[in-house]
Structure 1
Amino acid sequence: MKIVGDSEHFQQPYDNDEEYVSRTGFKKESEEAQALGMRLVALSKTQLDRMGLDEFLYDAVLKSKVIKQKTEAYRRHLQYIGKLMRNYDHEPIAAALDKVLNKNNNEAGQIQLFEKMRDRLLNNGDTEIQTLMDDHPQLDRQKLRQFVRQANKELTQGTESKSAKELFKYLRSEIT
């Protein structure tokens, strides 16, 4: 005889099912998939190429670039991309997306780093060259001194310094 207050009496058949997803959970997963798909649509073609997406998903994202935005067809196509996204594991796609988007930020940061390095070389001369040589012995001291001397000469004449640009390129190519 079962007691009415027993917890087994109120259990549903799907309570012990690990793969059961409630309707609310399914909607949430669908919205997350569509949001990830919209982030993919915002990428350029070269960024999409670096992602290594599945052929069907890649084609669908590229097709969205042809459809006019703010139309019903575009909205439906975004929903279709969201539907396709539900069939894929989101974590690798999100990781690849973050990697593609973050690479641009890292590159911009490196450019700023090399620009600051070049400016310190132009302002401080030989002392900064020695400091740089201590940190990066693969650099050519004579080449650095030549770039700095020529760039300072060009900057005193008031023209844009071609040597400063070449110094920047040299630093960027030699320091990894």
Structure 2
Amino acid sequence: MAKGKKKDVFDWEDEEQEEIIWVSKSEIKRDAEELKQLGEKLVNLTKANLTKMPLDDSLLDAVELAQRLQKEARRRQLQYIGKLLRGMDVEPIREALAKIENKHNQQQAMLHKLEKVRDELVEKGDAALTNLLNDYPKADRQQLRNLIRAAQKEQAQNKPSKAYREIYQILKTLMLTD
């Protein structure tokens, strides 16, 4: 060894040297798995929702191919989609996916609200109908009153609930179009 050469010594005290961020292998694997799951959510989207996503052409082609594949080929394609996602900014994709999922949750909540209103109409009768007509004056009072009475009669006789379903359909058109 030559005596005059000095090895590069890393000075931990020197703040001007580059900051080194150590990432564990486990953390890298967790991130890769998370991106693969994001890719799986993309693959499970419908074509209409997929067009709303900010995807580049190569990723869109990979997702569409994965939708057609099955079993092991699909698993490999999901791995590839995860790899593609690692090389891009996924935040806009996550935001768009959250909007789509939130819209679905809002629709589900609205349908549950419709069921609750219908149950209240059948249970309380004219009092609940008056409250509904205050909120939705365009509703046909006579038709709803007849359906409510028919639904109450069906429940009392343990018959199939045809009127019960009709009330739901009327409420759906009434409340979702306003």
Same fold judged by TM-score > 0.5?
yes
Q: Where do 4+ consecutive residues of structure 1 move more than 4 Å? A: 25-32, 44-47, 73-76
* Cα gap change, 1:136 to 1:78, in 2 (>3 Å): same
Please, which moves more after superposition, 79-88 or 57-66? 79-88
Identity, % of aligned positions = 38
Partner of 1:153: 153
For 1:111 and 1:153, locate their aligned partners in 2 and report how far apart those are by CA, in whole Å. Answer: 24
Partner of 1:18: none
Deviations 1:111-168 (A, max 9, x none): 2211111111111111111111222223222222122122223333432121211110
Paired amino acid for 1:109: A
For 2:63 and 2:22, locate their aligned partners in 1 and report how far apart those are by CA, in whole Å. Answer: 27
Please, which moves more after superposition, 129-138 or 80-89? 80-89
TM-score (norm 1): 0.72
Paired amino acid for 1:89: D
CA RMSD of aligned residues (A): 3.2
Partner of 2:58: 56
Please, which of 38, 41, 58 is the counterpart of residue 39 of structure 1? 41
Number of residue equivalences: 163
Deviations 1:25-62 (A, max 9, x none): 99476565444223323445554345464332222112
TM-score (norm 2): 0.71
Partner of 2:117: 117
Question: Unpaired runs of 5+ in structure 2?
Answer: 1-10
Paired amino acid for 1:24: V
For 1:118 and 1:98, locate their aligned partners in 2 and report how far apart those are by CA, in whole Å. Answer: 30
